[in-house]
């Protein structure tokens, strides 16, 4: 869902998903569940940027 929303590959979409989880500290499974049940938009995750 994140890859499609951001027009990237699944591998590239993993970076913002990881950044989202790292910065906000939810469990990855909770984040994915929210995406699948549409409680969260993929754009919310796609906009997350990894910290350098």
| 49 within domain boundaries | no
What predicted TM-score, i.e. pTM, was given to this entire model?
0.77
| 36 within domain boundaries | no
Q: What is the pLDDT of residues 1-38, one digit of tens each?
A: 889 988 999 999 899 999 999 999 899 999 999 999 99
- Looking at the structure of the chain, the number of domains it has is 1
pLDDT in the model for residue 51 = 64
Range of the domain at 14: 1-25
DSSP per-residue codes, 5-38:
HHTS-HHHHHHHHHHHHHHH---HHHHHHHHHTT
* 36 or 49, greater pLDDT: 36
| 13 within domain boundaries | yes
**Token pair belonging to 35:** 């995406």
| Cβ count near 14 (within 10 Å) | 13
| 31 within domain boundaries | no
pLDDT in the model for residue 41 = 93
């Amino acid at each position: 869902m994140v890859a499609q929303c951001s027009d990237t590959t699944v591998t590239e979409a993993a970076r913002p998903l990881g950044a989202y989880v790292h910065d906000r500290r939810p469990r990855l499974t909770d984040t994915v569940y929210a995406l699948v049940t549409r409680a969260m938009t993929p754009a919310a995750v796609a906009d997350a940027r990894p910290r350098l």
